[in-house]
Amino acid sequence: MKVLSVNAGSSSLKFQMYEMPSEDVLISGLFERIGIDGSYTIKYQGQKVKKEVALPTHKDAVQLLIEELKNYHVVENLDEIKGVGHRVVHGGDKYADSVVITDEVIKTLEELVPLAPLHNPANITVINVFKELVPDACQVAVFDTGFHQTMPEENFLYPVPYEWYQKYGVRKYGFHGTSHKYVSGRCQELLGKEDAKIIVCHIGNGGSISAIKNGKCIDTSMGLSPNAGIMMGTRAGDIDASMVLYMKNNAQMTVEEIDNALNKKSGLLGISGVSSDSRDIEDGMKQGNERCILAQKMYVRKIVNYIAQYYVLLGGADAICFTAGVGENSKDTRRDIIEELACLGIKIDPARNDVRGEETLISTDDSTCKVYIIPTDEEVMIARDTYQFATK
């Protein structure tokens, strides 16, 4: 059965087609700069092709995607596509699990747009286009927030007037849920136990840490929005809320300007003044750039603080898992983080840690907690859920 996993961003569209249930990847690709100038990359049978092309809207990207599926003879007829799984950023507290997309589901996603104004509209647009172009396929929504809906009230509520939660849905939702679910599930397999206590560090340009017990999330670092928790590439993470009013009054900035700065001009970029990319920060450190050194110290500290907090919350941990761009590829950042946790008896093996993008154990044999690199695979999680609904 052919199943398509789709991940629509505000100006991008990533896809991967699988033959299920074997999970063989038939073709994948990424459409970028939608609404700006446009380009896309297709990966097929070990070959990568990049093309520059006008992509005014997400609908244009979807139509081109379908054309390429036919051009590469991945499908001869669109009826061969039995399921399309969509990564949807925000499901609020309405959806804890993936669902078949109905008109009612789309209406709910529209109501949730204020919680994800950049992403949910793109998700809805792409869903509607696929429903129009591939009407017989089972369309499934897989929510970024879904996995975190097992958090208890004391962990997801903010200490603000309770009516804010009742009337406006102000609470911690968490994100990267599909990644946290995949990585923690894979870690359970590696440990050989379902009742494991796991801390997942999904650290890339965006980043979040989660505490997982018996396969369920009990806390996570991102909050009402993705701009909460750890310091990220361009996001500030946790800050004193009074900073917004202070900058409004003293820098004559609008709330929108402040929000833009906290989301797009802060984090590693804001402190280093060089880049939001961890690789550039590491290069700057080697050159003696003091602000890059400072940015890395702050970045590591914010991550360590959450790991330590969740270590206590879980009553210890069986494993810490690193995933996503930085987590999978930066041996220096992993080393710096684990060295800060030495007081807990957690140790890293330099030789084991000297890898990029490979699933492997990197802790020492006498470490009190196992430390793994587990490359994430959100697309296959989307495909699995979609396949389950398509075969019902």
Distance from C-alpha of 362 to C-alpha of 371, rounded to nearest angstrom: 6
The CA-based dihedral angle spanning residues 173, 275, 277, 117, taken in that order and rounded to the nearest 10 degrees: 30
Sequence-distant contacts of 189-195: CB under 8 A, at least 24 apart? 190/319, 190/361, 190/372, 190/374, 191/318, 191/319, 191/370, 193/318
Please pick, among 24, 37, 97, 144, the residue that the annotation labels catalytic.
Answer: 144
Whose structure tokens read 């941990």?
317
Sequence-distant contacts of 153-160: CB under 8 A, at least 24 apart? 155/218, 155/219, 158/223, 158/224
**Sequence-ordered alpha helix ranges (H) in the chain:** 58-71, 103-111, 120-133, 153-156, 162-168, 177-191, 242-250, 255-264, 267-272, 278-286, 290-314, 324-329, 331-339, 350-353, 378-390
Could you tell me which of 1, 133, 137, 140 has the C-alpha nearest to residue 65?
Answer: 133
Tokens of 19: 């033959």
Catalytic (active site) residue 144: yes
Query: Taking a C-beta distance cutoff of 8 angstroms, is the pair 120, 67 a contact?
Result: no
Residue 252 Rama label (left phi>0; alpha psi -120 to 50; beta)? left
Distance from C-alpha of 390 to C-alpha of 383, rounded to nearest angstrom: 10
Tokens of 70: 């036919």
- The residues annotated as belonging to the active site are 144
